[in-house]
Amino acid sequence: EEITTAVTEPATEAATTSTIDASSSTSTEAAITSTSTEPSSTEAAAELLSSTTQLPTSLPSTILTSLATAAASTEASTEATLASTSAQPSTEVTVAETEASTPTTTPAATKFYRSNGFDAGFEQQLRLAAGARCEWLPLENLVFDGARVRSRLRVELAAGARFLGQEVWGLGRPARGERFECGQLAQRFQLTVAGRPLLTEQLVLDGGDVLARSPWGLNGQDAFGALYAYPVDREFATAQARRDGAAQAWGARSCGTRIAQSWVDELLIVRGTSTSLEALRRCLEREWVALRPHVIGLSAMRPRIWNT
């Protein structure tokens, strides 16, 4: 039996680090490493040792204390690990200055792979002060077969704030014949103006569900998304839609792309579905180019990172 003990005592509190290697007649080996900052009773440590590793209970009290503390913290550590598994990453953007302009995008697509039974979630929240402007233009989210995704985007606009943003989703890997047949996508979008909810929508799509195949749903198309613009003058948007009509009709014939507009007060929603993610992105980008000068007050300039 070999025992090595290292003890350090800072000025404010005692910390004990112990390493024990033990072997029995049946060649069973036990290795225990622990760090203790809160001493406990020697009797509890001895009982723990006798019921687990069968080590002698006549060990030094510093070692027994360290072992007991390590065992007591194991359960709490496991619970913390399980809790962190279900935690959702979050992104919060606040534009607090009047007349400030914040364009935001991503360097690549966000990918969700096959789940091991847990949900992958992310939450994004944007807050704009009065007179602030924000463009939220991340690249597409790719949901592969078997993924389980929880997504939430909340936009809070103060009176006089301006917003132009999009969300684009791609299902499966169509290029290799993989469809989204298993898993779930739960997506939620909410926009408020001066504390008043203006738009709240939610999509819950199960892999292989009738919603993905039906004409009243995605109609078998693997890419869908929406562009949100606030505030927008209806006359301007109607004239722009007429100018883009020929291009949109060509897109519909070439790759099954469908684009439509809807309104909630001064909020314009441009929705699209397509069999081609690239074609859908081009259509929504064309809408962004037309709307940016009207909503944000700046000429359209394609982010260079989109070309990488």
| Secondary structure letter of residue 218 according to DSSP | T
* Whether residue 256 has pLDDT greater than 70: yes
Residue 102, CB half-sphere, CA atoms under 13 Å: how many? 20
Tens digit of each residue's pLDDT (9 = 90 or more) over 167-191: 999 999 998 999 999 999 999 999 9
pLDDT band at 6 (very low <50, low <70, confident <90, very high): very low
Q: How far apart are CA 97 and CA 148, in angstroms?
A: 37
Task: Tell me the helix, strand and coil percentages in the chain, rounded to 5.
Answer: 30, 40, 35
**Collapsed DSSP state (helix, strand, coil) of residue 288:** helix
Q: Over 70: is that where the pLDDT of 153 sits?
A: yes
pLDDT tens string 76-107: 443 333 333 344 667 777 777 677 787 899 98
- 16 has a pLDDT exceeding 70: no
Whether the predicted pLDDT of 211 surpasses 80: yes
CA 220, 225, 231, 234 torsion-angle sign:
negative
For position 236, what pLDDT does the model report? Answer: 81
137 in helix, strand or coil? strand
Mean pLDDT of 252-259: 69
Q: What is the mean pLDDT of the chain?
A: 75
Which pLDDT does position 245 carry in this prediction?
59
Q: What is the pLDDT of residue 91?
A: 77
